[in-house]
Amino acid sequence: MTTKPMTLIQAVNDAMGIILEEDDKTLILGEDVGRNGGVFRATEGLQEKYGEDRVVDTPLSESGIIGSSVGLAVNGFKPIAEIQFLGFIYPAYEQIMTHVSRLRMRSMSRFTVPLVIRAPYGAGIKAPEIHSDSVEILFTHMPGIKVICPSTPYDAKGLLIAAMEDPDPVLFLEPMKNYRSIREDVPTERYSIEIGKGKIVEEGSDVTIIAWGAMITIAQKAAAEAAKNGISCEVLDLRTLYPIDRALIAESVQKTTRAIIVHEAHQTSGLGNDIVSIINDTSFLFMRAPIERVTGFDVPVPFFTLEEHYLPTPARVVESIEKVMNF
Amino acid sequence: MGTKYPKQKTEKYPKQQVIDDRGNIVNEAYAEEITEELVRKLYYNMIRIRTFDRRAINLHRQGRLGTYAPFEGQEAAQVGSALALKEGDWVFPTYRDHGATITFGADMAKTYLYWNGRLEGCVPPQGKNIFPPAVPIATQIIHAAGAAWAEKRKGSNNVAIAYFGDGATSEGDFHEGLNFASVFQVPAIFFNQNNGYAISVPIEKQMNSETIAQKAVAYGMPSVRIDGNDCFAVYFEVQKAFERARSGQGPTLVEAVTWRKGAHTTADDPSKYREKEEGEAIVDPVERLELFMKNNNYWDENWIADIQEEITAEIDAAVATMESFPKANVEDVFNHVFEEMPDQLAEQKNAYLNHLGRQSL
């Protein structure tokens, strides 16, 4: 198996190149995705190779991008729509909520929307305001769409290919913070990773830390810190947020008997609360301490001079580790 | 209406007519194209959907149908436009366009089923590309642009038509859809039925422009404003727009000026927001075609009696089918959300079915 060192953004680019190459019904739509290769270079070189007809610079029009993708998707094409930043998806929210996610149901599967929406998300890169939102919950709450959020180059490539193979709409969230911070060997060939399956990033026996996207790094740093005090943390990367890997969560917390959830989204109605429910439903009698949540606050993501105070930090996670260990 | 505007736009976008209110031909250019076959096709379909519509209101009053959105007054616009469609074309209707979809080939019984809260009502006959009616406003305009774009990419000569009302032109998706369609020069027809009211809000409170047709200028798109109660004007002008689209000349905005004779829905009371006299001067599109038929020797009492009998029988059968339709399947609450049901949804479904099972013990 040939591999190549890739960053997460290169892995995304590589996956899209494979998809465009093998199926001429696939196309990429978005703002600045063509000649410019995307503001993060996710589509770099793709328009050059596959032409303006398949890697399309659209008008600056999020509802237009998603709405026209619905028309293309029901009429034989497989669009990958890029929303430049998740914080700019709101004009398309109506299209996603009222059509993309429920057209299959409304037409008893006569019309389906095989569409992948890619969106960079998250804080921590000193981006201008609104560019740093982390609103996965707006979509995990929405019936009829899957939500994926990889944290590594390898997972990004395999999950993006799986998203393209999926017959239903998928929102593919890319942690901007991880775009270039991790480089790893990624197979150059095609492979896919099953949607809905998380993985154990670090094995441990005392506390389970559940996270995804850019928060995996935070969880790992906290785990390393705790290890110095002899506490063994198991870190789970959920990778898919809907459907969520309940079996993995249950198995891990039943082993460790303590759980901490880390997410950068706001706390109230955050996905962490669903994970608490999953633990409650599957593992109530195993737990030795109340479940901790380390999350962003119920405030708009701050301007970047203050964003470090919004984002969960390893130190905050370590505090929670101590709390569950000493309960 | 319209007195506060300077007159240049209505002069630039005059309402195209073929017959006037008294049913006299005013545009000789089309006189030869009006054949008995066309007259009968238009009349038959207008009577057919009007009968469907009135029956729906009666069924609702009798508690046999849910809330219903009537289209009486808009038959010429809906039939005239739908008759220009061919197999392979795409239709993106609203909830008030079942006159158009039935004319294009949607099933009457299924359409009644839709208004009775059944998913089956959204499933078009095989081979008919009829979208479920858009319930949010203007969203379907962009879908039409996308489906038309797909046809262009395939190199077919199929087109997509989006139906929408005057209120939809105030939505962002109207702009995004027309802009997309014009940037990519897709074969789409944006068919606006300006029926004067968006529920209770009259057109002059909806926009400060004199016409809807003029909005196409902003997109570099051809447009036409037509008398939407003149079935010939609708039919011929929409044909022209379709021909342009089919021959690769891009999208067209059509404004069909018409009148919603009834309520917004059976749950609405228009006496709260408009005078009874308003609209009285507007000659009903069916009456207008009848005047034309009488003026021009197309009036044939026997034929009319025959079609009325035929249509009544068809609608009776559709109602019977609707009312004898198998009960809704509880599993359909869950079954069409994804192609493959995720475990967490399957668990909810099984738990609920078990609950129902225990209840029925």
CB contact (8 A) between residue A67 and residue B119: no
Contacts of B142 in chain A (CB under 8 A): 63-64, 66-68, 70-71, 95
d(CA A233, CA A248): 15
**pLDDT band for position B11 (50/70/90)?**
confident
Residue B338's Cβ-count burial label (10 Å; 0-12, 13-18, 19+) is: buried
Contacts of B174 in chain A (CB under 8 A): none
CB contact (8 A) between residue A71 and residue B147: yes
Which neighbouring-strand residues pair with A170?
A116, A146
Contacts of A168 in chain B (CB under 8 A): 338-339
Backbone angles phi, psi at B284, to 5 degrees: -55, 140
d(CA A125, CA A123): 6
Residues B162-219 pLDDT 10s: 999 999 999 999 999 999 999 999 999 999 999 999 999 999 999 999 999 999 999 9
Q: Which residue of B has its CA nearest to A97?
A: B136
Q: How far away is chain B from the Cα of A307, in angstroms, using its nearest Cα?
A: 32
- Are B239 and B281 in contact by the 8 Å Cβ rule? The answer is no
pLDDT for position B359: 87
CB contact (8 A) between residue B180 and residue A61: yes
Q: Is the pLDDT of residue B281 over 50?
A: yes
Chain pair A-B, CB pairs under 8 angstroms: 132
Q: Which of A64, A104, A109 sits opposite B176 (nearest CB)?
A: A64
Contacts of B119 in chain A (CB under 8 A): 105-108
**How far, CA to CA in Å, does B225 sit from each of A17, A178, B19, B234, B257?**
46, 54, 15, 10, 7
Residue that is written with structure tokens 């342009």 in the block: B244
pLDDT for position B303: 98
Contacts of A67 in chain B (CB under 8 A): 139, 141-143, 145-146, 173, 176-177, 180
Token duo for residue B343: 């475990």
Mean pLDDT of chain A: 98
Q: How far away is chain B from the Cα of A159, in angstroms, using its nearest Cα?
A: 17
Longest dimension (CA), chain B: 74
Specify the higher pLDDT residue, B7 or A7. Answer: A7
Query: What is the pTM for the complete model shown?
Result: 0.96
Q: How far away is chain B from the Cα of A9, in angstroms, using its nearest Cα?
A: 28
pLDDT for position B159: 98
d(CA B180, CA B134): 19
Contacts of A76 in chain B (CB under 8 A): 150, 154
Residues A131-185 pLDDT 10s: 999 999 999 999 999 999 999 999 999 999 999 999 999 999 999 999 999 999 9
**pLDDT band for position B247 (50/70/90)?**
very high
Token duo for residue A222: 């906290």
d(CA A95, CA B141): 11
CB contact (8 A) between residue A72 and residue B145: no
Q: What is the 3-state secondary structure (H, E, C) of chain A?
A: CCEEEECHHHHHHHHHHHHHHHCCCEEEEECCCCCCCCCCCCCCCHHHHHCCCCEEECCCCHHHHHHHHHHHHHCCCEEEEECCCHHHCHHHHHHHHHHHCCHHHHCCCCCCCCCEEEEEECCCCCCCCCCCCCCCHHHHCCCCCEEECCCCHHHHHHHHHHHHHCCCCEEEEEEHHHCCCCCEEEECCCCCCCCCCCEEEECCCCEEEEECCCHHHHHHHHHHHHHHCCCCEEEEECCEEECCCHHHHHHHHHHHCCEEEEEEEECCCCHHHHHHHHHHHHHHHHCCCCCEEEEECCCCCCCCCCHHHHCCCHHHHHHHHHHHHHC
Span A231-239, average pLDDT: 98
Q: Which of A160, A190, A189 is nearest to A173 (CA)?
A: A160
Say if A51 is an interface residue toward chain B (CB within 8 Å): no
CB contact (8 A) between residue B339 and residue A64: no
pLDDT for position B7: 54
**pLDDT band for position B8 (50/70/90)?**
low
Span A96-111, average pLDDT: 97
Q: Which of A164, A137, A131, A123 is nearest to A14 (CA)?
A: A164
Is B273 one of the catalytic residues?
yes
Q: Is the pLDDT of residue A317 over 70?
A: yes
> B345 in helix, strand or coil?
helix
Is A99 one of the catalytic residues?
no
**pLDDT band for position B12 (50/70/90)?**
confident
Q: Which of B132, B154, B345 sits opposite A76 (nearest CB)?
A: B154
- Are A143 and A177 in contact by the 8 Å Cβ rule? The answer is no
CB contact (8 A) between residue B146 and residue A105: no
Contacts of A26 in chain B (CB under 8 A): none
- Reading phi first (left if > 0) and then psi (alpha if -120 to 50, else beta), residue A30 is in left
Q: Is the pLDDT of residue B134 over 50?
A: yes
Q: Is the pLDDT of residue A309 over 60?
A: yes
Angle subtended by helix axes B285-295 and B75-82, to nearest 10: 70
pLDDT for position B5: 45
Active-site residue, from A99, A131, A263, A266: A131
Q: Which of B129, B176, B332 sits opposite A67 (nearest CB)?
A: B176
User: Hey, which residues 53-112 in chain A have their CB within 8 Å of chain B?
Assistant: 53, 58-59, 61, 63-64, 66-77, 91, 94-95, 98-99, 103-112
- Are B271 and B263 in contact by the 8 Å Cβ rule? The answer is no
Q: How far away is chain B from the Cα of A75, in angstroms, using its nearest Cα?
A: 6
Span A101-128, average pLDDT: 97
Q: How far away is chain B from the Cα of A94, in angstroms, using its nearest Cα?
A: 8
pLDDT above 70 covers a percentage of chain B that reads 98
Span B308-332, average pLDDT: 97
Q: Which residue of B has its CA nearest to A58?
A: B180
Q: Is the pLDDT of residue B2 over 50?
A: no
Q: Which of A64, A75, A94 sits opposite B150 (nearest CB)?
A: A75
Q: Is the pLDDT of residue A41 over 70?
A: yes
Q: How far away is chain B from the Cα of A232, in angstroms, using its nearest Cα?
A: 30
d(CA A213, CA A125): 14
CB contact (8 A) between residue B145 and residue A74: no
Active-site residue, from B48, B225, B260, B288: B260
CB contact (8 A) between residue A70 and residue B151: no
Span A276-283, average pLDDT: 98
Q: Is the pLDDT of residue B1 over 70?
A: no
Q: Does the bond joining B133 to the residue before it have cis omega, within 30 degrees of 0?
A: no
Span A44-62, average pLDDT: 98
Contacts of B147 in chain A (CB under 8 A): 71-72, 74-75
CB contact (8 A) between residue B139 and residue A68: no
CB contact (8 A) between residue B142 and residue A108: no
User: Can you state the percent helix, strand and coil of chain B, rounding each to 5?
Assistant: 50, 10, 40
Q: Edge-to-edge strands of the sheet including A207-211?
A: A199-202, A233-237, A207-211, A259-266, A292-296
Backbone angles phi, psi at B198, to 5 degrees: -105, 100
Span B59-84, average pLDDT: 97
Token duo for residue B180: 């997309």
Span B45-70, average pLDDT: 98
> B196 in helix, strand or coil?
coil
